[in-house]
Amino acid sequence: MIGAPMPDPQVADSRTIPQCASPSTPPASLVVTHEGPVFRVERLTFAAAEGDTPRVKDVVRHPGAVTVIAVRDDGRLVLVRNRRVAVDRWLLEFCAGKLERGEDPAAAAGRELEEETGYSASRIEPLGAFFTSPGFTDEVMHVFLATGLRPVPQRLEPGEEIEVVELGEDSLRSAVASGGILDGKTLGAYLLWSMKRSIGGHAVASGVGGGTA
């Protein structure tokens, strides 16, 4: 199957992801090697100069995802301990989830927060976004701060193994420093939150503006 790469509306619509100034070289051919419910894998072949071997890249096309830094009124952070099959380990993470095609990231953040942690937020504030692993995937992770939390029924999907964990920020920082947190999106999201607070931007635990979930 040959055709144009699958567009990612979350990347196209995002104002937080810088665009490359130089045009990319289009592939000479594109073959879809996997089409699943979560992502699609494309094998891109790029033409080479005479005498050289064509360059082949496998690329994972992903609809994007969200992760949520949830802060209770007492300042404690709500995380989850999630059993990740790919690495066969329990990982301490901020709650997160995949976007449906065309879904508003802020709405997805509120939904994932409720489903995984059993908290609803009165305020959801965007903090930024980043590419999770651009060496092989176009997945964009949208980061949100959730405050004004109140308990709601937790709604785990079938097969999900998740435990809710609440930590003070000092404990979270210690877990980061000691290697107790190995999840990349959690490390990246915490860095965004920390940096924005240090320069007087968003992400204070009280008085946060932004939309509602």
Q: What is the CATH number of the domain that holds 155?
A: 3.90.79.10
Rounded CA gap, 66 and 192, in Å? 14
Task: Tell which residue, 82, 77, 81, 6, has the closest CA to residue 41.
Answer: 6
Residue 121 in any domain: the answer is yes
pLDDT at 206 over 70: no
Beta carbons within 8 Å of 107's beta carbon, 6+ residues apart = 213
Q: Is residue 49 part of a domain?
A: yes
Q: Are the beta carbons of 203 and 145 closer than 8 angstroms?
A: yes
Closest C-alpha among 36, 39, 169, 146 to residue 95? 146
Say if 101 falls within a structural domain.
yes
Examine residue 114 and state whether it is found in any structural domain, yes or no: yes
Residue 210 lies in a domain: no
| 157 among known catalytic residues | no
Q: Last residue of some domain: 10, 34, 61?
A: 61
DSSP labels for 56-80?
EEEEEE---EEEEEEE-TTSPEEEE
Catalytic residue among 100, 160, 161, 163: 160
Domain count within the chain: 2
Residue 213 has pLDDT above 60, yes or no: no
Domain hosting 91: range is: 65-198
Which of 5-9, 12-16, 71-75, 193-197 is the most confident on average? Answer: 71-75
- Same domain? For 113 and 70 the reply is yes
3-state secondary structure 88-105: CEEEEECEEEECCCCCCH
* Chain-centre distance for alpha carbon 87: 17
Q: Do 28 and 57 reside in the same domain of the chain?
A: yes
Q: What is the pLDDT of residue 83?
A: 94
pLDDT of residue 19: 57
- Domain assignment present for residue 18? The answer is no
Residue 108 lies in a domain: yes
Least confident residue range of 29-33, 76-80, 142-146, 175-179: 29-33
Nearest-angstrom CA–CA distance, 63 and 139: 7
Mean pLDDT taken over the chain: 86
Question: Residue 205 above 90 pLDDT?
Answer: no
DSSP-derived secondary structure letter, 202: S
In this structure, the answer to whether residues 42 and 97 fall within a common structural domain is: no
In a domain, 100, yes or no: yes
Give the pLDDT band (50/70/90) at residue 197. Answer: confident
Q: Does 42 share its domain with 136?
A: no
Given a cut of 60, is residue 21 above it in pLDDT?
A: no
- 149 has a pLDDT exceeding 60: yes
Nearest-angstrom CA–CA distance, 169 and 212:
24
Determine the residue type at 19. Q
With beta carbons less than 8 A apart as the criterion, state whether 141 and 67 touch. Answer: yes
Co-location of 179 and 98 in the same domain: yes
CA-wise closest residue to 8 among 143, 190, 189, 134: 134
Separation CA 38–CA 44 (nearest Å): 20
Do 95 and 176 share a domain, yes or no? yes
Whether residues 124 and 37 share a domain: the answer is no
> Residue 102's pLDDT is what?
87
Same domain for 33 and 138? no
Q: Which two tokens stand for residue 196?
A: 């924005």
List the beta bridge partners of residue 211.
124
Among 59-63, 78-82, 156-160, 182-186, name the one with the lowest average pLDDT: 156-160
pLDDT category at 160 given cuts 50, 70, 90 is confident
Predicted pLDDT at 52: 84
Is the pLDDT at 161 greater than 70? The verdict is yes
Least confident range from 126-130, 169-173, 208-212: namely 208-212
Last residue of a domain, one of 39, 61, 83: 61
